[in-house]
Structure 1
């Protein structure tokens, strides 16, 4: 089994040891159930919507989301203090896990390009991500971030942590979508 700590050094930012391990176990389970490897995640495009020509990898995008959400949360805490509390461990875990369900959604075609598999045609990654996370004991406040980070979350009230992850995710996706006119 791949070392998810090599794939995700940001796991070490989670201070709560139990949550850190639950987050790592979720990635381990996702990789176990996936045809994708850590090396695949470092080379495949972060979204299928931009096609195989996109040079930003899945891991480049995902790690950027974690870093941007983390830095934004630090500023929220600095400026708003206790008026808008942020649980940093929940935020980091949720940001790391937001797209773990894509491991089940994607398959590789005969040329090694990521494409949507049959599983992904029926269940989008927020749903499969929550399922993986719950299997590993991830608490509901983190599962909420996974469930609400994408468009599905527009139908429910998001927590502060979920808003931060959602916006970090979309600010690192929408400019590509606009540039590539998807």
Structure 2
């Protein structure tokens, strides 16, 4: 780590306080480690510089990730208290917090140069969709398989979806619809149709 490399771990812990709600200490550290790797390889100055979408910069990826985590945790509590289900809240929180960590790689070409230090060309770019690179980061740092398999959130990426994965996916859609509505006055589907790109 050079003198100019930011303290990514401190940035992540401060920007994503929901990490502290994960009960398993090892899992908390794995979430921080995955973000640290993504930010370092993507060459970001600050975790808050990563945008929500390639063309929506009014909302940060941090805001979206926090929103997804909060929505999914509330939904899981309702499933438990009202329906008697038993979702794993640690898995849900970790997967939500990591579901868009891959944007650290994917969105480097969609921000001003001032937001970046030195992106690593082996990782940075749009070649791999962020939900897949996010899965890879979670795998690399040793997250449990239950967390890894809940990260890919586009239709068809994981055919056998768990309750936790469905909660991540539905919370992601809820947050994304709120963001596209407030930022652009359109639904998420309208955004996808208009820009012919997959969103989340």
- TM-score of the two chains, using structure 2 as the length reference: 0.76
- The aligned runs of 1:141-156 (5 Å cut-off) are 141-147=146-152, 149-153=153-157, 156=159
2:67 maps to 64
Distance 2:164 2:111 in 1: 39
Paired position in structure 2 for 1:25: 33
Deviations 1:119-156 (A, max 9, x none): 54321011111111111111111000112x22343x51
Higher helix share: 1
User: Residue 170 of structure 1 corresponds to which residue in structure 2?
Assistant: 173
SS at match of 2:108: strand
Separation in 2, partners of 1:157, 1:29: 28
Contact conserved, 1:44 with 1:113, CA < 8 A, in 2?
A: no
2:30/2:143 contact within 8 Å kept: yes
1:34 aligned residue: 42
Supply the RMSD in Å over aligned alpha carbons: 2.4
TM-score normalised over the length of structure 1: 0.83
Give the gaps of 5 or more residues in structure 2.
Answer: 1-6, 116-120, 192-200
Long gaps (5+) in structure 1: none
Q: Secondary structure at the match of 1:151?
A: coil
Is 1:131 matched up with 2:136? yes
Aligned pairs for 1:70-81 (under 5 A) are: 70-81=73-84
User: Per the alignment, do residues 78 and 34 of structure 1 end up closer, same or farther by CA in structure 2, a change over 3 Å counting?
Assistant: same
Counterparts of 2:39 and 2:109, CA distance in 1: 14
Shift of residue 42, structure 1, vs aligned partner: 2.7
Question: Counterparts of 2:79 and 2:114 in 1: how far apart (Å)?
Answer: 39
SS at match of 2:58: coil
